[in-house]
Chains A and B, each alone.
Chain A
């Protein structure tokens, strides 16, 4: 990695981020609120892959949406490349710096547009036209290792992995610095996932990209992210360098998450914490955090 000036700000700085949603009764009257994101802070250095791990309802997608300007934070701040973008919804200037790849490539690509047209949308809105535009489309397809003639195909002619490559090409069209990846491979077969992750790793190095990688798959995260934050019910319960956090998870919830991962080798099993049990049944996260679970004796 190239040497960077010491005074460069981090690529992303999220500070005490809060997002609440109103809870309404059936008459539409607000009866309370739920904190989807509850005081989350983290920074992502340039060129880093930062992983946000969490289960459904943990707030990971809400955080992504706020970073993308698709949702407004209730409190807290987001700084991108040193610039405060809190609540700057739909701003084109920062739209060039951060792009997102969504979970389901089947629904994130317009079925009536060819691949070329889909990739061209961000090019158009950022003012690239004519022959330069076609050249850029081929270039982007090559970047994600697809042949240039894919530009004329429709999404239904592509496999899941190919669609996700197109989604990545589209995200790269405006030369972003930060790529938000929201479960980018969870809809793919494991062998296809391996190739898409290999591609992302390669692109990250070649284009000097920074990644925010959102996933529920801890095994995948272990192999892709350099640092990880674990979310539970809107709070960041633990964060640290990936290898360290997986080797010595400190928070009870992180331990439960790791213990729950199905693994395929004895080596993994050896480093995985034991499942916490209550009356012979696997404890829930709520029970574990309330300190109700028995500690399993080591083998």
Chain B
């Protein structure tokens, strides 16, 4: 059918709360070919995070129900696969970089402890094992890969001892531990200052390129889309409303929704017309 590394086909997800059912994803399809950088962009409530959670298998069911569709990784349907098979792929062949470094790290364990534990479970899923020493060597190696100058010292540190940018690097290192083929990044750097965000995005881009990884960048920021992806899916109200090569999307957006979204982004050139842009759509009472 297609040779994408990850292929989401017609994915539909409902949420039911207090007997009310809302269709949160309405037939979402997207492809992430090997070694390509793909962006999934949408505003809050668009369904991008639910899509990501369904792919990673961390969607809480209930309240969510996957009502249809397939998630193919390397041709295998994750929704139909056995638990062992699923676990082997999720968190190892594909891994996730979370948005908020402070809440994704446990404050009472050192970086080495937390990374060691992740590595232990990743090894177990892959049917490998290595001793504590071997794990620490790998932890130091990966911390070096995210350009930490003194990996041993960082490994011994507690999260509180690190700056926001360093914590974000640790999260990237964690995602790299199991040598994944696909990285899923959920708004990396949004909790950071703009100068630190620029460092993180550059690092991520370099890592993905030099290690030949596929990247799914999930973001609300069109600037981040342009800087990190070559192909983009625009999501709105649980649907992919437009997809295009990134350069093409910015040059000639086809859908009214995308056109308005792009027009709403303030530009460094100072010619944004806020009155003409913007929409009352998202301001509708929740």
Contacts and interface: CB of A to CB of B under 8 A. Distances in A.
Interface centre among A160, A162, A262 (most CB of B within 10 A): A262
Given A157-B285, A161-B282, A217-B266, A264 B250 contact: yes
A23 interface: no
A284 B199 contact: yes
Interface string A251-268: 000001111111111011
A198 interface: yes
Contact of B266 (A202, A220, A259): A220
B126 interface: no
Contact of A259 (B198, B224, B285): B198
Nearest to B164: A56
Contact of A194 (B269, B278, B286): B278
Interface in A35-77: 55-56
A257 B262 CA distance: 22
B117 interface: no
B193 A246 contact: no
B195 A55 contact: yes
A34 interface: no
A265 B267 contact: yes
A299 interface: no
Interface in B228-286: 250, 260-272, 274-275, 277-286
B220 A281 contact: no
A268 B199 contact: no
B210 to A, nearest CB: 11
A15 B196 CA distance: 31
A219 B195 contact: no
A223 B203 CA distance: 30
A282 B202 contact: yes
Contacts of B3: none
Given A190-B261, A246-B270, A218 B194 contact: yes
B286 A223 contact: no
A162 B199 contact: no
Contacts of A224: 266
A264 B226 contact: yes
Interface size class of A (residues with CB under 8 A): 35 or more
A216 B192 CA distance: 11
Contacts of B220: 189-190
A280 B227 CA distance: 17
Interface centre among B194, B260, B272 (most CB of A within 10 A): B194
Nearest to A221: B266
B22 interface: no
Given A190-B43, A192-B282, A264 B198 contact: no
Contact of A159 (B165, B260, B284): B284
B194 A216 contact: yes
B206 interface: yes
B61 interface: no
A142 interface: no
A175 to B, nearest CB: 24
A162 to B, nearest CB: 6
Contacts of A262: 197-198, 201, 221, 223-224, 226-227
B194 A191 contact: no
Contact of B267 (A55, A159, A161, A268): A268
B274 to A, nearest CB: 4
Contacts of B165: 284
Given A189-B43, A191-B260, A195-B274, A261 B194 contact: yes
B284 A243 contact: no
B222 interface: yes
A222 B283 contact: no
Contact of B195 (A193, A223, A285): A285
B196 to A, nearest CB: 8
A38 B271 CA distance: 34
B134 to A, nearest CB: 28
Contacts of A220: 266
A271 interface: yes
Interface string A186-205: 00011111110110011000
A195 B278 contact: yes
A246 B202 CA distance: 23
20 contacts: A55-B195, A56-B193, A157-B285, A161-B282, A189-B43, A189-B220, A190-B261, A194-B263, A194-B264, A195-B274, A198-B275, A216-B194, A218-B194, A222-B269, A259-B198, A262-B198, A262-B223, A263-B226, A263-B268, A281-B203
Interface of A: 55-56, 157-162, 189-195, 197-198, 201-202, 216-220, 222-224, 242-243, 246, 256-265, 267-268, 271-272, 275, 280-282, 284-285
